[in-house]
Amino acid sequence: MSEQNKELARRWFEEVWNQGRESAIREMYHRDGRAFGFPEPDSVLNGPDEFVAIWRQFRAAFPDVHVTVDDLVAEGDRVAVLWTTTMTHLGDGLGFPASSKKVSFQGSSFLLCGDGQIKEGRNQMDFTKVRLQLQEKV
């Protein structure tokens, strides 16, 4: 089970984020799934529809988003992922004009998997710091 869940996590980051394949969200995110900590630390996204709405806004702001899986550990139905994201702020989706600045940040995701889908994701990242970097006057 651990190997299957590791592969699911890898596919999630590759297909959903790197390839921008929206249909992959509905394939891999459980209908009752919950995502915590994205895009804000106190955010909770319930089900694929809520996740897709935020994902679209994020991809509009950062169409070149790329997530590199730095480390991945699984035990049973749980997967821990350390990742690094690089992206360029090319869209206005964050509530302020595109800055064309390239940013990089690290984070982690702790996933609960079942029946070949992600049932829960707990995400840690300092996106507030990223927003401040994007709004800085150079």
Distance CA 82, CA 25 (A): 20
Task: Write the DSSP string, the chain.
Answer: -HHHHHHHHHHIIIIIIIS--HHHHHHHEEEEEEEESSSSTT-EEEHHHHHHHHHHHHHHH-TT-EEEEEEEEEETTEEEEEEEEEEE--SSTTSS-----EEEEEEEEEEEEETTEEEEEEEEE-HHHHHHHHH---
Does the predicted TM-score (pTM) go above 0.75?
yes
User: pLDDT confidence of 138, banded at 50, 70, 90?
Assistant: low
Lowest mean pLDDT among 15-19, 68-72, 95-99, 134-138: 134-138
Percent of the chain with pLDDT over 90: 83
Class of domain 2-135: alpha beta
User: Quick check: 137 pLDDT over 70?
Assistant: no
pLDDT tens per residue, range 119-132: 999 999 988 888 88
Question: Looking at the predicted structure, is the pLDDT value of residue 6 above 70?
Answer: yes
Q: What is the mean pLDDT of the chain?
A: 94
Domain boundaries defined on the chain = 2-135
At 38-62, the pLDDT tens digits run 988 999 999 999 999 999 999 999 9
